[in-house]
Amino acid sequence: MADKIKLLVAFLLVAAGVAGYYYLHDSAAVLRLASVLLGLLLAAGVVWTSEPGKRLFAFGGDSVAEAKRVVWPTRKETLQTTGVVILFAIIMAVFLWAVDASLMLVVNKLMGRGE
């Protein structure tokens, strides 16, 4: 129940930041932006103290660690793969154009519009 209250408080802090943005409509843009950022930062702090927030931040940390373990392809592999994809797309485009043109020719012949 305490976590739900913390999440509600975090939501209200974000809403207060957005409300401050509109309340300060005559102020400088920096103050308006600071209002929203302050609301978001305070909300993040409150969420961080809740159990779902701790799990979310742990998941983010695990995601970063996993991304560091990824073996990215070399430049040569990337260029080769890109070339194969582009070549395949061109071949498929020509094939589909040929099928479309031949079907249109057949339909025109059947309807008596042919040359």
Q: What is the pLDDT along the chain (115 residues), one digit of tens a residue?
A: 888 899 899 999 999 999 999 999 888 989 999 999 999 999 999 988 989 889 988 999 999 999 999 998 999 999 999 999 999 999 999 999 999 999 999 999 999 886 6
The vertex-21 CA angle with 17 and 25, nearest 5°, equals 160
Global pTM value: 0.53
Q: Which amino acid is at 14?
A: V
Domain ranges of the chain: 2-69, 72-115
Task: Output the pLDDT for position 115.
Answer: 60
pLDDT for 114 equals 64
Q: Residues 6 or more apart from 17 whose CB is under 8 A from it? A: 35, 36, 37, 38, 39, 40, 42, 43
Give the pLDDT confidence score for residue 65 in this predicted structure. Answer: 94
